[in-house]
Amino acid sequence: MGKVAAEIKVMPTGDDVDLDDLQERVEASIPEGAKVNNVERQDVAFGLVALVATVVVPDDAGGTDAVEEAFADLEGVQRVSVEGVTRI
């Protein structure tokens, strides 16, 4: 079974969310079998900044679902979306 790298955008609920704290919680919430390779910050609009995590997960049924759910359950997260997936 192979692996895929997915870019997952984590949109905070507002510009008052502490991004350093949110990034730590994103990295800590990663499910077993997945790995966060990198987290970047992306300006969205009006001072709002999203986190874009590059996550490596097994290429099996469900793919990034568990990671998306873990990120979406975090306090201060408004929306989670997969921006791209590449087989590695």
**Domain ranges in the chain?**
3-87
Q: What is the pLDDT of residues 6-50, one digit of tens each?
A: 999 999 999 999 999 999 999 999 999 899 999 999 999 888 999
What is the arithmetic mean of pLDDT over 59-63?
77
Summarize the confidence of residues 57-74 as an average pLDDT. 90
Residue 2 confidence (pLDDT): 87
| Position 63 confidence tier, pLDDT thresholds 50, 70, 90 | confident
**What pLDDT shows up at residue 60?**
81
Please state the pTM of the whole predicted model.
0.92
- In CATH, what class is 3-87? alpha beta
Distances (CA, A) of 17 to 10, 23, 29: 12, 11, 17
CA separation for the pair 45, 33 (Å, rounded): 34
In the structure encoding, which two tokens stand for residue 9, read together? Answer: 């955008």
